[in-house]
Every structure is written in C-alpha cells, then in structure tokens.
Amino acid sequence: MPGPGQAAGEILDDLRDGLERAHSRNRGRVLVSATRQIDPADPCAVAFTARLASEPWFAWSEPDRAFALGAFGSAFEATSRGSRRFAEVNADCLRLLRDSVQRLPEGPLPAGAGPLFTGGFAFAEEGGTAPAWSSFAPASMTLPAISLARQGDETFLTANVLALPGADPEEATARLAGRLAGLGDATLPMLDPSRTGTTGIQGVRPPGEFERAVAAAVERIRGGDLTKVVLAREVMVEAPAAHDAAALFGALRELFPECFCFCRGTTEGAFIGASPELLVRRSGASASTVALAGSTRRSSDPAVDSHLGEQLLHSEKDRHEQEIVARRIVRALEPHSVWLERARDPEVIRIANIQPLATPIVAQLTQPRSAIEMAGLLHPTPAVGGEPWPGAEPVITELEAMDRGWYAGAIGWMDATEDGEFCVGLRSALLRDRHAHLYAGVGIVEGSDPAAELAETEIKLGALLPLLTE
C-alpha cells in the first residue's frame, strides 16, 4: 500500500480523468473526487501538519472505535444562518454530492472515506455575535481539498476539486499536486508548558452571579413555565504563548478515548473539545443517539467511584433531568421512524473526570434523511437547551448573559452516502492565539441547588482547564 505522498500520482490521474468527464457533461460546476487506499496513517496528525494558516481544517477522533478523520483546505463551503440553516446547508451539500464525479477504489468503503463535508452549526440560529466567534459562521460545512479517513487499520486519502466550465484540467489539479506529493507520516506534538510567564484564569462572570442565575431559573421552573433550562459559564485563560491546538488535541484523545474529540479550525482560531455526547449517528436507514443528562464527579478510589455512580443512578433530581431529555428525543424521532427503541433505564458511563447518566436510543427511519438533516431535527436537545424549548430559549439569553457561539452546537461530518456523525460541542474551548474561552453548562430543574450546580461546572471545566494552564 502506498504512503500519502506516494499515492499522489494515481489520485492526480484520477482527478484529470474525472475533470474531463465533468467537462463533457457541460453542466456547470461539478465536484470531481478521487480516493485511494494508503498505508495506515494518522488523519488528524496529517491535517494539523499539512494545513495552511490561510485555510480551514478539521480533525475528528473516536479512539475507542479506532475511527478518525482529518481534513484541510476548501474546495467548497456551504454556509447559512437563521431558522432554516440546517435545511439550506443540507441542500447545498447534497446538490454538489449527487451530481459529482467520483473515482473510488473497488469494494466497500468505511464511513467517512471519499468526499465528505466537515464542520458544524452554532448553538443559536444567528450564531456567535461576539468578536471571538467572528470566523465561525452560524452554519458552516466545508468540502475539504484533501481528507483522510481511518477505520481500524484501513486509511483512505481523498482529493476534491470543482470542475468549472472551460477550466483546464491541468490548471485545476496543479494546486493539489504539490500538496499531495508532500504528504507523509505525521505525529501530533506533545503539550509543552511555557517555562516563562504566567497564565491568567478569570471567569467572565463572578461565581456568585452564576449561582443567582441558577436560583432565578429554579424560580421560573417552579412557576410552571419550564421543566428544565440549561445555563452555562465562560472562563477565560490567557497564556504567555499561543495555545497549540495540535498538542491539545493529542492530549484530549489520550485522556478521553471514549469521547468525540474534535477540532474545527479557521484562519483566526480553533474550536476544540472532547464531547461525551452523541447528537446523532446516521448509518443507512438507522439513526442512533444518546440522551445525556445528570452527572457526578469521579474518584481515584474504585469503591468511592462506584458509590458515586450508584448515588447518581438513584438520584431523583438527576433521573428527572435525564428523563426530560430522553422523552424529547423520542418525540422528535417517532414521526420519522418505522420503529424506535430506547433503553428502559439510564446507565452510568464513566469518562476521565466525570460520570453522566445516558440513555441510548435507536430508530429505523421511514425514509432516507441525511446526517445533517437528522442533526437539525434533534438540535438543541434539552441536554443543552431546555424544555419546552420556546420557553427556555429567552430564559437562557436573559440569565446566561454570554455568547455561546459554537459551544453546545452540532459538530461533525457527512460523507457522500449521507451517513455521518454529529456530537454536541461540549467540554470545549475556543482558542485564539494566547486566549482560550472555556465553556461548561448544567441542567437546571426544580430540585437544583445553586452551589451544587456551580460545583458541577467546575468538574466539567476540569476536562480542558488543566491542559491549558500547565
């Protein structure tokens, strides 16, 4: 099997052939894509190493499933905003994919191999309005110039180019030739703490203000308008040197192998995290998700750790919060499903620094719906929004007094078969040079205690905070 650089010649030949076929159609803009299997490689490390400062990039890793994606450059970007952003981005992506010319290896391909779109959707319809989020559109899915997908020991390399009427195939592929030839084995750097200078940590709002916001939310819930609302905090970290997204990503996937480790990079910053929460996984006619709500801390003592999990499992407050999320997801999926199954009782899942309650849900769809469409159907779940959502939305805006941007949004990918995965952008941070914006939220229900909810945000911030302050 050739290495990434060695496959360049074959991929370029396939692209030239595809471009000629596309031009013969005389249909205007056409996606031409070429894919080859290569020697095992680390897609994320290749993306971080080969990306240019002037282009977007994307890394996605699920270590426990031995699955990873890396993508960089942009052949096409679908963007939108407002209430129809999922539908409009989905339509743009499918329009390009369905009329494409693809040169693929023989045999079945793993998910993510071949042309795919990567990116995400901000939490709110209009996206982040704060200056820190200026380079992150409310909805943005990018068809990369080059991507790699790895499942187990199989790695596939894909290059994409848009065929335009009258364009010279040689000119269209020339920009990719050098980049493909220069690809090689890559590894992610280790975190290298600064030996000089100090790191500053500051909450955007004082802890007492957050506790008062929680108390106010509890009063709203007791008034009968809401059953749950999620409130989040923002913490700023200023380092003596620029934060290294590649090193941080490598650390996250080592520490959180059971999570969805992601990084969406732009010319100005990177949104990075290790999310425990699957929003949706679409595979053919099947859609799966997990209701995640209610959590407690971990302990280094196995007996104490197990006891904490048992307490959580029998907590009336946390079981109530979990049930609110599971019920809403079921209601959203049932009209589009032939059948739907949800676990009868939640289970405790253990992550490095926290253990939440989770209820797996699987549905067989009545008709094909893409991964992006399914993400739009479910976002935002009560795990990050509230119930009912029309009542919770203005309460979040009022009581949080912060700009979530892509935090708690939908982050993920969709391939040419319309399969894909989106996680919820939790346990995350926005990196901009020396500054990092960290986010953590908690679900507020009638039995919530302000001090306990503040403490829970501290546990959740503990996923990234130690790595950014070393």
Q: What is the CA radius of gyration of the chain?
A: 22
CA–CA dist 288, 12 (Å, integer): 37
Token reading at 40: 């095992």
Q: Is 329 strand, coil or helix? A: helix
CB atoms within 10 A of CB 31: 23
CA–CA dist 62, 419 (Å, integer): 16
- Counted residue by residue, the chain has a size of 470
Tokens 């996206």 map to which residue?
127
Terminal Cα distance for the chain, rounded = 40
CA–CA dist 38, 5 (Å, integer): 9
CA–CA dist 375, 123 (Å, integer): 12
Q: Is 424 strand, coil or helix? A: strand
Catalytic residue among 62, 228, 373, 400: 228
Query: DSSP characters for 174-212?
Result: HHHHHHHHT-----PPPP---SSS--EEEESS-HHHHHH
Catalytic residue among 62, 234, 277, 456: 277
Q: Based on the residue annotation, tell me whether 228 is a catalytic residue of this protein.
A: yes
Catalytic residue positions, numbered? 228, 277
